[in-house]
Structure 1
Amino acid sequence: MLRRALTEMPHCEGSIVSRLPVIVLTRLFAGLLVLAAVVVGPSATRAMAAETVETYVVQGAINADGSLNVTATITFDGAAPAGLVQKFANARQVIGDREYVYTLRDVKATIADQPINATVTQQDGQTVVTMPTQGATAPVVLSYTVLGAAIKEPSGETTVMWRLLQGLSLPVKQFTATLTVPTMIQAVLCNAGPPVSPGVCTSWGGGTHEYPDPTFSDGPRGVGEVVEVIVRFPEGAVTPNEQIRDVWTLGKAFSTAPLPLSLALIALVLGGLAFWAVHRRMGRDAVGAGQSTPVAEFHPVGDGEAEFRVLDGVRPGQVGTLVDERVDPVDVTATLIDLAVRGHLRFTELPKESAYAVREWTLSRLAGGDDLLPYERTLLDAVAPEGGEPVLLSQLPEAVGAVIVTVQNELYDDVVKLGWFAQRPDQTRNTWFRIGLGCVVVAVLATIGLAAFTGFGLLGLALIAVSLLVVFLGQEMPARTEKGVAMLNGLGMLRADLLGQPTDSMPKGQELAELSEVLPYAVVLGGYERWLQALADADGDLDADSTDLNWYHAPDDWRLSDLPASLDRLIITIQGKLFSR
């Protein structure tokens, strides 16, 4: 019509205006043709490609050796799409720690009896068959053989179980299957639906004299849905060819079966006994003759009076290190108080700025009257430098932090020099910590290997437990020498005296000096509260006592009766600040 209209239009030769409608209409017509080709052409092509499998028909055979031959004829509801993919699971997990493994072989695909270039790959535990089917109008025939689908039942029968339809890239309208069998079957079942929890098929049957071969029918099925057939044979009719693979599970890796459990317990017991034997041989204090070396005593000087005497110049820091084999805050605190009592240091309690202000002290250097041990000099120079200004107690972490390791090292060296330990206790602990840590690393690696490749993971856990025993109880391996044991026995007697000696037995007129000498040792060994109270009770006048003690000064209205509370707060504050950073 459009062409006829164009030919019947009036013609005015030589007139550009008369030819203009013809040119416009011609170009409009060409544009419409191009637009139709762009929009309609691809849609028409897509509409022609099949989007559904019309029928999926299986002809299969279960052989006496347990193998399963499958030939699936796939018919589309139009021209075949560009490609078709079917994925077959290589394994199927069962209850417990096992899974059945399947093998597909002789995979072939044809169209009209002509082979197509189908590719078979392994991906994510699946055998993936990719079939190029671009535009084919004839059905696709896929054939393969399955090994591993014949499973032996506990009662002796053989069950062949396989998902004839699975992992297809297109939905299926109708599925049918027929399996030829070598003998009469005992039971037949068909499941269909989602792979995780399929229901039952539409229909299935067979296993009778009239219809010996089982048949199955189902549909429609969505993309990736399954149709699973199950056929059971009497014992001996079909040879099982199941391929069972053990699956790693936590329960299997750390099995509590008799053998793994027994080995783990044996390793735990033997490891504990071995470490006990090593500790008994290397970590026990030397066994002496029960001797005791007196450290200090309350020496009688009159009727009902006794003065405190320290023997052989044993210092409170040394005492604390010998008792617990460590240099800790209480040892350093007792050393500071001892330095003050001996005239090297003075604590000065400052007036509080308000009722709610934190109490503060200063530490001032004094001349002293005796020699200092290396660790005492290092500590004293840090907290009260010679010739320097008094140091606030709140600055103690900064003052001590730079030298505390040196103080510890010198004190450890000192107790070895005294013959109380054969080796520095901290070095002994570090050695056993490294040994234990190495054992832990080896035990963890052994546990990983045992759990990954065997069921003896519990044995590895037992080794880890023994290794941790070495790490933690190895800290108790420092051992005192015979001389150190004798000194420790003497400290036991001194502790008994500090807890039982009457605090009012000091020589008259010397109470403050004598009680002050007792105080550092009581801080380390216990019972310092009663000696603080004895200092407070020694106040025999009504005057203020802010300077009665040379080693402890306080505000003008302070009295000795305030000393227990003041010094208790001082000790707690020092110990809290000593090792802070």
Structure 2
Amino acid sequence: MTTRPTRPIRRNLHTGRERRRGSLPVLARLGLVLATAFLVLFPAGAAQAATGEGMDSYTAAYDLQKDGSVQVRERITWRFPAGEERHGIFRNIIVRMGVSGQDGKYRYYDMTDVAVSSPSGAPDAFQVSDNGAAREIRIGSADQYTSGTQVYDVSYTLHNVLNPIAGQDGAANTVEFFYNVFGTNEFTPRDKVSVTVNAPAASTKVLCYQGAAGATTPCQGTTGNPSTFSAASLASGDAMTVVASYPATAFDNPRPDIRDGSSDTSLGSGAASAANAAAWVGGIGAPVVALAVMGTLVWTRGRDERYADVTPGLTPAAGTAAEAPTTRGGRTVVAVQFQPPAGVQPGMVGTIIDETANPIDVSATIIDLAVRGYLRIEEVDGSGPFSRTDWNLTQLPPPADDRLLPYERKLLDGIFASRGDVVALSELKNHFASTLKSIQSAMYEEVVRRHWFRSSPQVQRGVWQGLGLALAVIGGLILFYGRGAIQAVLGSGFTGGVALGVGLLLAGGITWILGGRMAAKTAEGSAVLAQSLGFKEYLTTAEAGQIAFEEASNIFSRYLPYAVVFGVADRWAKTFADVARAAEAANQPLIMPTWYVWSGNVFPDFTSIANGVDSFSTTSTGTFTSTPGSSGASGFGGGGFSGGGGGGSSSGSW
């Protein structure tokens, strides 16, 4: 009998608002995070690709013994990564392999007599341990480093490696040495490989194969005693297999060592069964626990507080708010408010509405600062047929009766401090993103200072969504990468990796979604929200007849930044177009604002100014968030860099 081993929310640019609580860009982010996590977890492979780590040469002598064992002597010339220090190398020698046509059984090659030395003087202490289906020989010391090119001599004995080959009469007429010098899991490039096989008799025929799994690409092999084999330029993942046939009479009736169990582990099927049970419990339990815990947290801490005995939109009398009873949850009741909340700027209104300091809130703040006299916005038409409108921002002397909030000061300084008193909006492109983050952070600090939130809503969301992302990353690593590593320890009987990975991915998604609802407003914040939504109701329903001519120009300018935040600037402009026509008919023409300079060929009206401001807000949000892109160079032509491509592998050194 012949026994052979087997191979082993669309965003509205007009309004700039987006509801963050329901968004879940998990898959896009997860892909980026998994790639990053892989490079972090497997840095040796990335370094190898970047620095040319590999074997300059591998020379091995396989001395076949009459009892069917083989004494192996290896000389490995190892090239460590340029400019880096490592502790040493490791060799994984397969000692368990499945048997063709025999499920639940494996072939065992007992490994003994391990010895290591280094003619080049590299640290040669070693440890031998189980590593799944292999025995790992880890060479080097955790307290010492080595670098450059080093030589290692490794020797060991493998038992029961020969295959008796039966003839037509059923008797073993020949014996084969059919052995993988390297498996397809060898990811270290090998420049030159030379193998000799010594035996009690000369070989009668030989074969040599190299390449990926299943490849029939030949390498060099010659018969005799010794038989010789060689290969050059074995790339990452290339195997090398040698076959030598001998007369059966040269050996003492060798037999393979066939055992019950899994070829992938030394722990046995019991460990795999226990791990399977734990993985399935974890896979099913993780999303259930995540849903229960996060659901409880959202119900008890993630819902907005409200004053219990106060009309929505109102607050208790001064000095009594701290003692006023509150409740959680409930629908926000909106009543029309004819003015914005007292002392609440447009950027703050935008932040309280969706609990996020969006770029549109920053753009509205610029418009509000212009209305208040801190700067002037002036349209600048391009000269070419395909050119775009730009805007000059001109800093003005600050009004004596107004004060800036910290985030407003950061905004003005970010625009003008290093660029002078006149700055084109286009000049900020690719240079303002870091300043924008600082301004947004100051806006979150401002809503906490005003006691609308107990802590930054960005931080509240970020902590829980970060936990969700971590769970999803772990689940993804187990699902896509970790199953093989676990099976290497527990064996192919372990099948719970998919359940555990999917379960953690689901738990991460649940935590991410519900974590986005953890930014709860205080009762004071809920009151401001109700007032803000009531003011939005006014802007969307106001009629021209409700606005007095003598107040119209001032009201138009004061409320326009809020209309931009709410996304109703066009509706507000149409209302004032009606007001202007009525005022003209009454011989009381309205005065046009001076804080915005229109570039049109005719006299501006409220509609043209509102359209210009709306266009400015849309353009500025893109300008503020823009960052420089890559050069677009090809990775083949010198534009590539470590970590800039895709994929990676690790092997060989530690």
Q: So what's the TM-score if we normalise by structure 1? A: 0.55
SS in 2 for 1:310: coil
Note closer, same or farther for the CA distance 1:329–1:418 as it changes in structure 2 (3 Å cut). same
- TM-superposed CA distance for 1:331, in Å, is 0.7
- TM-superposed CA distance for 1:440, in Å, is 5.7
Q: Across the two proteins, how many residue pairs are aligned to each other? A: 390
* Matching residue within 276, 284, 292 for 1:265: 284
- TM-superposed CA distance for 1:422, in Å, is 0.4
How far does the alpha carbon of each residue in 1:259-286 deviate from its partner, in whole angstroms, 9 at most, with x for none? 8546522332222222222232332222
SS in 1 for 2:392: strand
CA distance in 2, matches of 1:348, 1:361: 5
* Matching residue within 539, 550, 570 for 2:594: 550
Amino acid at match of 1:324: D
SS in 1 for 2:177: coil
SS in 1 for 2:440: helix
**Equivalent residue for 1:340?**
370
Amino acid at match of 1:492: L
SS in 2 for 1:243: strand
1:292 equivalent to 2:338? Answer: no
**Equivalent residue for 2:414?**
382
1:528 equivalent to 2:544? Answer: no
* Matching residue within 609, 614, 620 for 1:568: 614
8 Å Cα contact 2:468/2:509 also seen in 1: yes
Larger Rg: 1
1:498 equivalent to 2:539? Answer: yes
* Matching residue within 457, 480, 483 for 2:497: 457
Note closer, same or farther for the CA distance 1:270–1:389 as it changes in structure 2 (3 Å cut). closer
Note closer, same or farther for the CA distance 1:307–1:97 as it changes in structure 2 (3 Å cut). same
SS in 1 for 2:455: coil
Matches within 5 A, 1:60-79: none
Amino acid at match of 1:278: L
* Matching residue within 326, 329, 345 for 2:359: 329
Amino acid at match of 1:550: T
**Equivalent residue for 1:139?**
none
- TM-superposed CA distance for 1:247, in Å, is 3.8
CA distance in 1, matches of 2:624, 2:103: 57
Amino acid at match of 1:246: S
- TM-superposed CA distance for 1:163, in Å, is 9.6
1:516 equivalent to 2:571? Answer: no
Note closer, same or farther for the CA distance 1:391–1:167 as it changes in structure 2 (3 Å cut). same
**Equivalent residue for 2:106?**
100
**Equivalent residue for 2:625?**
579
**Equivalent residue for 2:452?**
420
Aligned-residue sequence identity (percent) comes to 26
CA distance in 2, matches of 1:482, 1:470: 25
Q: Which has the higher contact order (CA 8 A, sep 6+)?
A: 2
**Equivalent residue for 1:489?**
530
8 Å Cα contact 1:515/1:535 also seen in 2: yes
CA distance in 2, matches of 1:254, 1:429: 39
**Equivalent residue for 2:58?**
none
- TM-superposed CA distance for 1:357, in Å, is 2.0
- TM-superposed CA distance for 1:318, in Å, is 0.8
8 Å Cα contact 1:345/1:363 also seen in 2: yes
CA distance in 1, matches of 2:203, 2:286: 59
CA distance in 1, matches of 2:370, 2:447: 22
Flag structure 2 segments of 5+ consecutive residues without an equivalent.
Answer: 2-62, 70-94, 112-154, 179-196, 206-213, 217-241, 249-256, 266-270, 316-335, 628-654
- TM-superposed CA distance for 1:495, in Å, is 2.5
| Aligned alpha-carbon RMSD (Å) | 5.0
- TM-superposed CA distance for 1:90, in Å, is 6.9
Note closer, same or farther for the CA distance 1:95–1:387 as it changes in structure 2 (3 Å cut). closer
- TM-superposed CA distance for 1:552, in Å, is 0.8
CA distance in 2, matches of 1:404, 1:261: 46
Flag structure 1 segments of 5+ consecutive residues without an equivalent.
Answer: 1-57, 59-82, 106-119, 130-143, 147-159, 174-193, 197-221, 229-240, 296-305
* Matching residue within 275, 280, 290 for 2:294: 275
- TM-superposed CA distance for 1:317, in Å, is 0.8
Q: So what's the TM-score if we normalise by structure 2? A: 0.50
CA distance in 2, matches of 1:122, 1:390: 81
Note closer, same or farther for the CA distance 1:281–1:91 as it changes in structure 2 (3 Å cut). same
**Equivalent residue for 1:165?**
175
**Equivalent residue for 1:23?**
none
- TM-superposed CA distance for 1:338, in Å, is 1.3
